[in-house]
Amino acid sequence: MNWDAPLGYKFAVVDAGFRKPAREDLALVISEVPALAAATFTANVFCAAPVLVGREILSRREYVRGVLINSGQANASTGTEGERACRESLRLAAKELSLETDDLLPASTGVIGSPLDLDLWSRAAPKLASGVGGHGAEDFARAIMTTDRFPKLVRAEARLSGGMARICGIAKGAGMICPNMATMLAVLLCDIEIAPDLWRGLVREAVEQSFNRVSVDGDTSTNDTLYALANGAGGVRAEKSEAGEFGRIMAGVLGKLAYMLVEDGEGGTKVLHIRVSGARDALEAEKAARTIGHSPLVKTAIYGEDANWGRIIAALGRSGADFRPEEAALSLGGVELFSGGRPRLSEDIPELKRIMAGKDIHAHISLGSGNGEYTLLVSDLTHQYVDINAKYRT
């Protein structure tokens, strides 16, 4: 695509000194005109200060001018002082940008319990403001990374009756990833003009189909936030009759970002696609998929390229999903390994070795009790995962 970002958005990133070793760690995206905003936030009870503040801002207004994200300091579990610091950080940046404090939506990522250092914010704000327009979407994606190995950026175009709309999704996250209503941090930018209710509905559905179906470690973060902006700068309006198709394109962008979170899952080497079908309903299918996808025995077997189907069956059996054991069947990469309550194949066939050696591994579990389906993407559990997380703060 011959564009960097949807029309009417500008970026700025600076090294504010939050992270050691030093690198860009403060990122801003500004819309030239007020942008319609939708958001989804973590379901964690201990939600971080920027989640509380972002939610509060959006309870008062539908349109904003930008999103401000820092890495290195999560500002989570920091109490009312953390909320005050979050508002002050927005004020410092807004002042330099000649905006109101509420024009900016906040998000933070880093170590829980680590508060914002407002001295660093004071020094960074003028540099940030003077840099607006000097950076691009990928700079923004890089500045919000923590343990991520690569930036996560997806662009798409939607051709509507009125013309073309541009969509750009940016996300970060590699650990503490088990999004519940949103992912770690993500921003969706769009230059379409759209009715607020329609926009919020499309965003909710796209998140449900994407971020809510991936997991690295089963740990829902305290800071999960997705902000979705539509600024109308492209001059194209999305009509209700076009919403279905447009929503599918948006869900596709978020789905690609969600896949990248798993691909970049801490220490991960593979992506396991767990598809459960034939469940009584979608919730039963989800229960089975999540139990399998969070089993450390399953995740280490995938890492070891071991078609250890017994561990998948054992996890399924303790999941609490409602099905009859003799109706269940399991295949890996299309090869049936278990059905009718017993093994179907020696796992030592060359085809299975080839399947397990691949990067993407597809497990399909059918339960034979209904039409409920769910697909969950998870990363494997590796030596590097332990390395990263046993030493995160040292």
Q: Which residues are catalytic?
A: 183
Tell me which stretch binds a copy of itself (CB under 8 A): 87-95, 133-141, 181-189, 292-300: 292-300
> Closer CB to a copy of itself, residue 105 or residue 313?
313
Distances (CA, A) of 283 to 177, 239, 364: 20, 32, 17
The rounded distance, in Å, linking the Cα atoms of 186 and 184 is: 7
User: Counting contacts by CB under 8 A, is residue 73 touching a copy of itself?
Assistant: no
Which residue of 13, 97, 176, 250 would you call a contact of a copy of itself, by CB under 8 A? 176
Look up residue 34 and give its two tokens: 């007020």
CA angle 75, 148, 264 (to 5 degrees): 130
Whether 372 contacts 280, CB under 8 Å: yes
Which residue of 75, 295, 331, 366 would you call a contact of a copy of itself, by CB under 8 A? 295
User: Counting contacts by CB under 8 A, is residue 78 touching a copy of itself?
Assistant: yes
Comparing CA positions, the residue from 381, 107, 361, 364 lying closest to residue 219 is: 381
> Closer CB to a copy of itself, residue 375 or residue 389?
389
Q: Which of residues 311-370 bind a copy of itself (CB under 8 A)?
A: 311, 313-318, 323, 325, 338, 340-343
User: Counting contacts by CB under 8 A, is residue 80 touching a copy of itself?
Assistant: yes
34 DSSP assignment: E
User: Counting contacts by CB under 8 A, is residue 121 touching a copy of itself?
Assistant: no
Whether 247 contacts 205, CB under 8 Å: yes
Counting Cα atoms < 13 Å in the Cβ hemisphere of 256 gives 16
CB of 230 to a copy of itself, least distance (A): 30
Instruction: Categorise residue 266: left if φ over 0, alpha if ψ from -120 to 50, beta otherwise.
Output: beta
Whether 311 contacts 321, CB under 8 Å: no
Q: What x/- string results for residues 225 through 264 when contact with a copy of itself is judged by CB under 8 A?
A: ----------------------------------------
For residue 175, give every residue at least 6 positions away whose Cβ sits within 8 Å of its Cβ, in sequence order, or none.
146, 147, 216, 217, 219, 265, 266, 388, 389
Q: How many residues at the interface with a copy of itself, by CB under 8 A? A: 64
Which residue of 17, 58, 77, 138 would you call a contact of a copy of itself, by CB under 8 A? 77
CB of 188 to a copy of itself, least distance (A): 24
Which residue of 22, 33, 111, 118 would you call a contact of a copy of itself, by CB under 8 A? 111
Strand, coil or helix: what is 342?
strand
Q: What x/- string results for residues 126 through 165 when contact with a copy of itself is judged by CB under 8 A?
A: ----------------------------------------
Which residues are bridge partners to 24 per DSSP? none
The rounded distance, in Å, linking the Cα atoms of 329 and 194 is: 45
Look up residue 139 and give its two tokens: 């700079």
User: Counting contacts by CB under 8 A, is residue 390 touching a copy of itself?
Assistant: yes
User: Counting contacts by CB under 8 A, is residue 27 touching a copy of itself?
Assistant: no
Which residues are bridge partners to 156 per DSSP? 167
Tell me which stretch binds a copy of itself (CB under 8 A): 111-119, 186-194, 234-242, 250-258: 111-119
The rounded distance, in Å, linking the Cα atoms of 333 and 292 is: 16
Which residue of 16, 74, 194, 249 would you call a contact of a copy of itself, by CB under 8 A? 74
Binding site for a copy of itself (CB under 8 A): 43-47, 74, 76-82, 111-113, 175-176, 178, 180, 217-222, 294-297, 300-301, 303-304, 306, 308-311, 313-318, 323, 325, 338, 340-343, 381-383, 385-387, 389-394
